[in-house]
Amino acid sequence: MSETPKMKPRWKPSSRFYKAIEMACEGHKDHVRKGSDIPYIGHLLGVASTVIEAGGSEKQAIAAFLHDMVEDTSTSVKQIDRKFGKTVAKIVDACTDATKAEKDAEKKAQADKDKADEWWTRKSKYLGKLKEKTMKDPSVLVALADKTYNAENTATDLRGKNDDERKDVWSKFNAGGELQEKWYRGLLEAFKENKTYDKFSQPLFNRFEAAVNEIFPNNT
């Protein structure tokens, strides 16, 4: 009986891959997931793993580790470009809807309504850009992995909760349930528009759609 040919990995981690993990761990070492004491690096590891399993390249996986660096630390897109190259920098830039300084300014808004308005303004701009992209843009897969990870976690947090408990879950976010629904429905539309998924990425989109429909069951 002949032996089954040994499968080879699509790519092997380079030194830049290890540097990206180190940079992500250092940059987010004091950060936690919203409303918890879970180290934020867990999210980044989850997104990177999802990208890899959905057929992503090493550069996409590196960008997955770094996709929140510009939003949550003082790191700039230019710094990422110098360390990891233009492709990674462009993906991170595309996944960034506001810099840390811009988000800090938003948090200082006096009224809750003003905060919500500013939050939705930047989210709307992000949705408009995402809707125009195709899967030829390497940032789309990273964004889909990120949003799927978040949606599945939120679905888990909401599962089995009554209305008051659901409000408590939404209270940890920058915008309440109504705006969050608008955001997730907008993402679902954007991930459908102009996108053709392959055998690796289609299951990931299906997971995202299922999570959104579980979070907001009244509008399925």
What's the burial of 147, exposed, middle or buried (CB within 10 Å: 0-12/13-18/19+)?
buried
Q: What is the crossing angle of helices 41-53 and 58-66, to 10°?
A: 160
Grouping H, G, I as helix, E, B as strand and the rest as coil, residue 39 is strand
- Selecting among 71, 117, 181, 209, the annotated active-site residue is 71
Q: Which of 3, 22, 72, 181 is catalytic?
A: 72
Closest among 35, 46, 96, 49 to 68, alpha carbons compared:
96
Active site residue 72: yes
Assess contact for 192 and 38: CB atoms under 8 A: no
> 41 with 25: CB under 8 angstroms?
yes
Active site residue 209: no
User: For residue 4, how far is the Cα from the chain centroid?
Assistant: 38
**Annotated catalytic sites, by residue?**
71-72
